[in-house]
Structure formats: C-alpha cells, structure tokens
C-alpha cells in the first residue's frame, strides 16, 4: 500500500545551525594551526549573546571571539534589527583544557592503537533513491533551503528575506518502496516586516511558489518529475516570521542531528558531529559508516544499506560492526556474511579512519549547514588568520566520506562485475 514519508531541513541562519557553524569554525581553526588538536566545543546563541564552552588540548592559540563573529557575519546576521548582530553581540568563552582522563585513553605510543574518544554506536546509511545515494525527501528539503539562501544573498528577485528558515518535504512511496511524487512542501522563512500581514502572506507564498520552486526544479532537473500541480504548500503557516534566528529561539550545537544525517531514514546513534575533532568517533565513525554504505550501494551489493559500528572508550578495535540490507541485497549472502566481508575491506580503528578519510584537516565548517552527507567531494584552498595576523593557506579535500573510491575493492570482494 502506498505511504507517505517526510524529512525536514533548516537553513544556515537557523539558531541551532548558527551554533553548529561556530563550533565547527573553531574546530577548523584549531586543526589548521595544530592538526593534533583535541577539541570538543559547544556553542549557545540567544538574543545578543554567544556562549562558547568545551574542552581543548592544542598548541594553537585562537581569537575565538573574532572567529565566532566571522561566522555570524558570513551567515548574514549583520543588522541591528535582527537583535543578534555579528559586530555587537556579546561573546563569552568558557573553553578549558581537555580532561587528562579522556586524553590518556585516546593518545597511545603507537598511533595505530589510538583509542576511541568515547563509547557509543554510530550509523551510516545509503540508498539508490538519488544520484547522491541519499533519501530523496531530505535531499529536496536541503536543496530548497540552499536555493533560498542563494536568493537571499542575490537580493534581487526577493528582497525581504532574513537568514532563518526551515523546510519540509513529504513524499508518496509506492508498494515497491520507490518515491513517485511530492505530496507536501512546507517552507517557513524569516522576513522583513510588511505594511500589512495580508499583503505579506500573499507576497511570500507567491514568491516561494513562482520563484523559489521553479529555480529548484531548473537547477536540479533530475527531480522535476516528482513535482506536480497537486502539491500541498504550507508557506509561513503561522502567518508571520519577522522575529527569528537566535532572538526568536535559543540555538545549541548538536540539536539538528537528523537534519545532519538522513532525515529520519536509516538510524542514528544519538551523538552530534559539530564541535568535535575526529578522535571523537561520534563524528569520524559516522562518516566512515556512510562511506561504507555508499560504496556498497554504488558497487551493487544492495539497493539500501545501513551500517552500524560501536566502540568502547579508549579501545581501538570496534566492539561490533553490523550491516543491514533490508532485503535488497543483490548478492547471495546473509547480512551477517556481508558484514564480515565489510570488516575485511574497511579498517574501522579510529586512527585508520582518520587517515583514510583525511580527517585531521580543517574541513568541517562546510559540513555544518545543509547536511554532512550527500555532499560533493572537492579540493579547495582555505585561509586562516592567527591572532598575530599570520595568514595560513591550506589545501584540503572536503567530504572525503562521499567518495566512491572503494567501489572497485567492494566489487572484487563480493565477486561483482
């Protein structure tokens, strides 16, 4: 029987995402000046205030206030009427030294024996619903908000947009678990005040339907056939969204973990990513399991794959690795046997994950909005400035866990052509 499935996304100006982006900017700066840094940074944002807290072990000294202001400025909180503005907001830092009790479990004499930074389980997921091997509802929800941010920065076709926004996409699936159409789209966007609420509602609804959605369809033509004239739209359904961002709702690092991953598909171990260096397996192992799942689906092992890995704090070897194919496997093997082959291909000890995916580089700011998964791997040059004014340029590879560099190895291991 056909069914509906929904995923949501939030914009870079959403208060929780503001917090994530500040935390990941701190990670990038610490790693840029000291790749051995151990960092766990949390950020809280509210009306006119930013609070930074966490634990750090690093040789680098940073101007954390200026880094935070730079992130806020880039997002677009640059006007006093937002009640949260890059140059005027107060910033309090309560960052202190990392616990030696934790550090001694991570750092070992032999690098390959590096222990996991915490216990817990992490999940990676992939599906052939999209070319990015991501769930379609989440992919569309991200793309709607990404294009909305492009429109905001252009300040041409739509001039009243403010940084905070949310989207939601509901898909109809057929009896074969394949998406066939978009049922509902929800877009809530912060905006400047209008002279009347009635004109405001009509104008925003019209612009979203006639400017934003056609641009999404044109830019992502592969999704055009999912759009139809029966889509139910809810545009700013409360009627007004002038008060937004950290002034409208306090933001915290790590509160959008489903938006960050698979939109409710697959599973999630509960650990947030942003603000954590790669010794924290909440982050690195989640990227590694995504890398595994994506390469398995791309190689033709299954149409849908969920990979779970678990760790004990201070121990290098995972306590378990589990693979589920939901009955979509294309090979004549049980999920248990598929899992054993996966273990022989991918070394899931933390040090080897860091090396394989090049995680001790300043690559994390780009992950902190519009999803950590399903993004495009690319090489970029990033620039960092020390408190003394020293400019450091680093050439780094982003989203390495999205590469299909293990497809040939997977095919060989499973006897696929």
154 is in an annotated binding site: no
pLDDT in tens, 61-101: 999 999 999 999 999 999 999 999 999 999 999 999 866 65
- Give the whole-angstrom CA distance, residue 294 versus residue 133: 6
Higher-scoring residue by pLDDT: 195, 337: 337
Is residue 130 one of the residues assigned to a domain?
A: no
pLDDT-derived band of residue 118, with 50, 70 and 90 as boundaries?
confident
Q: Assess if residue 376 is contained within a domain.
A: no
The pLDDT score that the predictor gives to residue 115 is: 84
- DSSP letters of 234-280? EESTTS---S-HHHHS-EETTS-HHHHTTTTSS---S---TTB-TTS
What is the reported pLDDT for 110?
77
pLDDT digits (tens, 9 = 90+) for 386-409: 999 999 999 999 999 999 999 999
Confidence of residue 51 (pLDDT cuts 50, 70, 90): very high
CA atoms of 90 and 92, how far apart (whole Å): 7
**Residue 411 in contact with residue 417, Cβ under 8 Å?**
yes
CA distance 286 to 31: 19
Other C-beta atoms closer than 10 Å to the C-beta of 109 total 5
Is 42 annotated as a binding-site member?
A: yes
The predicted structure's pLDDT at residue 107: 67
For strands 3-10 and 38-46, give the pairing.
unpaired
In a domain, 194, yes or no: yes
User: How many angstroms separate the CA atoms of 149 and 155, rounded?
Assistant: 10
Whether residue 96 is annotated as binding a ligand: the answer is no
Instruction: Name the helix (H) or strand (E) containing 307.
Output: strand 304-311
Closest CA to 12 of 3, 25, 1, 2: 25
Q: Is 276 annotated as a binding residue?
A: yes
Q: Is 249 annotated as a binding residue?
A: yes
Beta strands 391-398 and 3-10 are unpaired
Q: Which pLDDT band holds residue 111 (cuts at 50, 70, 90)?
A: confident
| Mean pLDDT score, 254-264 | 98
In a domain, 224, yes or no: yes
* pLDDT classification of 112: cutoffs 50, 70, 90: confident
Q: Is residue 131 in some structural domain?
A: no
Q: Please tell me whether 291 is known to bind a ligand.
A: no
Return the pLDDT at 109.
65
C-alpha distance from residue 14 to each of 18, 188, 215, 409 (Å): 6, 11, 22, 40
Is residue 108 pLDDT above 70, yes or no?
Answer: no
Q: What percent of the chain has pLDDT over 90?
A: 93
Task: Please report whether residue 202 resides in a domain.
Answer: yes
- For residue 151, the domain's CATH number is 3.30.300.10
Domain that includes residue 204, residue range? 3-10+136-243
Q: How would DSSP label each residue in 131-149?
A: TTSS-HHHHHHHHHHHHHH
Q: Does 382 belong to an annotated binding site?
A: no
Q: What is the pLDDT of residue 146?
A: 98
Query: Is 101 labeled as ligand-binding?
Result: no
pLDDT in tens, 136-188: 999 999 999 999 999 999 999 999 999 999 999 999 999 999 999 999 999 99
Chain CA centroid to CA 97, Å: 27
Structure confidence by residue, pLDDT tens digits, 196-253:
989 999 999 999 999 999 999 999 999 999 999 999 999 999 999 999 999 999 999 9
| Spatial strand order in the sheet of 90-97 | 90-97, 49-57, 38-46, 251-252
pLDDT band at 102 (very low <50, low <70, confident <90, very high): low
Helices (H), 168-231: 197-207, 213-219
Q: Is the pLDDT of residue 106 over 90?
A: no
Q: Considering the chain, what percentage of its residues have pLDDT values greater than 70?
A: 97
Distance linking the first and last C-alpha atoms of the chain: 34
In a domain, 239, yes or no: yes
Count of structural domains, the chain? 1
- Total count of residues recorded for the chain: 417
Q: Annotate 91-140 with DSSP letters as a single string.
A: EEEEEEEPPHHHHHHH--SSGGGPPBSS-EEEEEEEETTSTTSS-HHHHH
Average pLDDT, the chain: 96
* 276 within a domain of the structure (yes/no): no
Tokens of 196: 């009347």
Is 165 annotated to bind a ligand? Reply is yes
Quick: pLDDT tens for 119-133. 999 999 999 999 999
Nearest to 373 by CA among 289, 276, 282, 275: 289
98 belongs to an annotated ligand binding site: yes
Task: Report pLDDT for 21.
Answer: 98
pLDDT (0 to 100) of residue 84: 98
């Amino acid at each position: 029987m056909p069914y509906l499935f929904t995923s949501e996304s939030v914009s870079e100006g959403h208060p929780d995402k503001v917090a994530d982006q500040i935390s990941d900017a701190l990670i990038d700066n610490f790693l840029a000046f000291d790749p051995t840094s151990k960092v766990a940074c949390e950020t809280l944002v509210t009306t006119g205030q930013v609070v930074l807290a966490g634990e750090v072990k690093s040789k680098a000294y940073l101007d954390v206030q200026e880094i935070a202001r730079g992130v806020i400025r880039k997002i677009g909180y640059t006007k006093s009427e937002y009640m949260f503005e890059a140059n005027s907001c107060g910033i309090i830092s309560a960052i202190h030294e990392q616990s030696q009790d934790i550090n001694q479990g991570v750092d070992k004499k032999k690098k390959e024996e590096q222990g996991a930074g915490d216990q817990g389980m992490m999940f990676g997921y992939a599906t052939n619903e999209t070319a990015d091997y991501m769930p379609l509802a989440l992919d569309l929800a991200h793309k709607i908000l990404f294009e909305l941010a492009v429109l905001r920065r252009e300040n041409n076709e739509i001039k009243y947009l403010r940084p905070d926004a949310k989207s939601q996409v509901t898909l109809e699936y057929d009896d074969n678990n394949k998406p066939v159409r978009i049922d509902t789209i929800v877009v809530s966007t912060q905006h400047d005040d209008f002279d009347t609420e009635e004109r405001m509602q009509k104008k925003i609804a019209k612009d979203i339907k006639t400017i934003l959605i056609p641009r999404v369809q044109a830019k992502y033509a592969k999704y055009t056939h999912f759009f139809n004239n029966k889509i139910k739209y809810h545009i700013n359904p409360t009627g007004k969204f002038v008060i937004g961002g950290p002034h409208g709702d306090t933001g915290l690092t790590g509160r959008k973990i489903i938006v960050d991953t698979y939109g409710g598909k697959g599973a999630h171990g509960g650990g947030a990513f942003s603000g954590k260096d790669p010794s924290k397996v909440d982050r690195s192992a989640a990227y590694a399991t995504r890398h595994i799942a994506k390469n398995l689906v791309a190689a033709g092992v299954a149409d849908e794959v969920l990979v779970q890995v678990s760790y004990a704090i201070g121990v290098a070897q995972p306590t378990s690795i589990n693979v589920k194919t939901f009955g979509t496997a294309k090979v004549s093997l049980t999920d248990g046997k598929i899992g054993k082959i996966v273990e022989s291909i991918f070394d899931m000890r933390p040090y080897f994950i860091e090396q394989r995916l090049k995680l001790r580089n300043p690559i994390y700011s780009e992950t902190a909005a519009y999803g950590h998964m399903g993004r495009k791997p690319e090489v970029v040059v990033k620039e960092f400035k020390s408190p003394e004014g020293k400019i450091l340029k680093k050439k780094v590879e982003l989203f390495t866990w999205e590469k299909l560099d293990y497809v040939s190895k997977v095919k060989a291991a499973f006897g696929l052509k």
